[in-house]
Structure 1
């Protein structure tokens, strides 16, 4: 056989195998879902392995799509992180995303069920509220004015005498 014929013969033999491997790898990547309570580091490293395997098979994913696939595979307790990541349009690589996710996971374990909020510097200048010279509160007018939603609850308990039916400001013992 001539070298060209040998190469063509090898392509015919192994091309079907590469396609099948690419199909299995992409299926595993897109169906990968992190279970709640498992470490985020192992999950993201496994997904990075799938992405690198696809790249070796001649099917590379761009960075943004790879990050989207990883973020979509996270459980519901990472929803706040994903929301902040997408709203702030953070451009990171997969290893940098892994570091951010590990930090967020550590913060979630420390804070319990508290939600974490990432704050960025505002691009526009905010309106400053002028203080009045007189004593009292400034009442907003127009769209910013708050409207009451109902009356005062009578089922409260007094903080002074611990009796139900009135509050401290109306307590006969306190007054």
Structure 2
């Protein structure tokens, strides 16, 4: 029997490589929910405490920073090495989550589908310049 934390096993077996973003996110949320820290994905902790903060407020802020660090560590540990390098300097978990949503979120699927369809159906017209065709194909990838 393994003495490893079952939560880390979930993330180890489901490393984010890009195309599996939605499956990875579902597993990450399972782990963060079980730790009761999923809120850090959408709520960044303040960078500093107010100058007139009470002991209770400071303790709460410290707890938020700890939760954010824990979530960020789970996120980074469960990514491919390439993605880890890309996000290791991120300020907080919400920042990483936001960037990943931009890269792999649902709103990108229709755009990717249209781009792939355009690339697959595009043909070099007879007599057309190969260079212009190549430039048009590259333009499709950038949009």
Q: TM-score, normalization: structure 1?
A: 0.24
Structure of greater Rg = 1
Structure of greater relative contact order (alpha carbons < 8 Å, 6+ residues apart): 2
- Bigger helix share: 2
